[in-house]
Amino acid sequence: MEKKIFSPLREFKPHLLMLLTQVGYTLIYFITEASFNHGMSPYVYVTYRHIVAGVVMFPFAYFLERSVRPKLTFALFGEIFVLSVLGISLSINLYFASLKYTSPTFLASMYNTIASLTFLIAVVLRFEIVDVRNPRGIAKVLGTLISLAGVMTMTLYKGPLMRNLWEPLIHIQPKSASINKSWIKGSLLTVTFCVTISISYIMQASTLKRYPAQLSLTTWMCFMGAIQSAVFTVIAERNNPSAWIIGFNIDLWSILYGVKYHNKYNEFI
């Protein structure tokens, strides 16, 4: 009897995990914006987040992939370095920089277009072959076009402000008028992030063929991305050394929560 009851749950377990992951990932937008409004530097956040993520991932990668991890050559190291730039230090910093000029709702909507952009770029680079005579190929093309049409609409059009009828659970400071005027700037940053992260996904698929150790690759990317982001943070925050200090408040919790729902963990799920 119990097997019959829990059998459908086991069948849909991957789908439930992906759904819960997306719910948790959505909360990152609001928690990180609250942290940035509290005064935390986005560049420091990205650096600390990936340092902690790398430390957490290291023991799993070291022990679980000892038998499958290939030797790291200089050429492969350089490839992982570029992959870290595209997938972490550049893209994630663009992502959180755009949060200053847009809204969490806009970012959450734009993030869902990454799959379509990845497919489109893969087709252009001939990594993906589309058979328009096949219903599955037609569905891919139509889904991509609809998704990109939504991207252009959300980028170029900003409608009237909608008021909430109830008190919000999380109070986020409203953006100033000067920031609202930079909506196009924030939208372009977001689109650039989506394109950059899409290219990194395609490159990562190619890298995994030569380095078939996903946890180890993720760990390398976290540490390299943290170092690259740290260099950028030193330059960006050179007149504000106190930006590196993290208190036991929303800043710390946003970093820990961000590690829990790290984008590389989502790929693994």
pLDDT at 268 over 90: no
Task: Give the start-to-end residue ranges of the domains of the chain.
Answer: 44-104+204-269
Please give the C-alpha separations between residue 93 and each of 87, 122, 256, in angstroms, as whole numbers: 10, 24, 17
pLDDT of residue 153: 72
Q: Residues 226-259: pLDDT tens digits? A: 999 999 999 988 888 888 988 888 888 888 887 7
pLDDT of residue 173: 53
Alpha carbon distance 257, 16 (integer Å): 20
Alpha carbon distance 222, 116 (integer Å): 25
Q: How many CB atoms lie within 10 A of CB 31?
A: 18
Q: Residues 103-122: pLDDT tens digits? A: 766 777 777 778 788 888 88
Query: Which tops the pLDDT comparison, 54 or 260?
Result: 54
pTM: 0.75
107 in Cβ contact with 96 (< 8 Å): no
Q: Share the mean pLDDT of the chain.
A: 79
pLDDT at 126 over 70: yes
Alpha carbon distance 181, 3 (integer Å): 57
- pLDDT above 90 as % of the chain: 17
Side chain identity at residue 139, one-letter code = A
Alpha carbon distance 45, 51 (integer Å): 10
The CB-side HSE value for 249 (13 A sphere, CA atoms) comes to 11
Structure tokens at 211: 């380095």
pLDDT at 265 over 50: yes
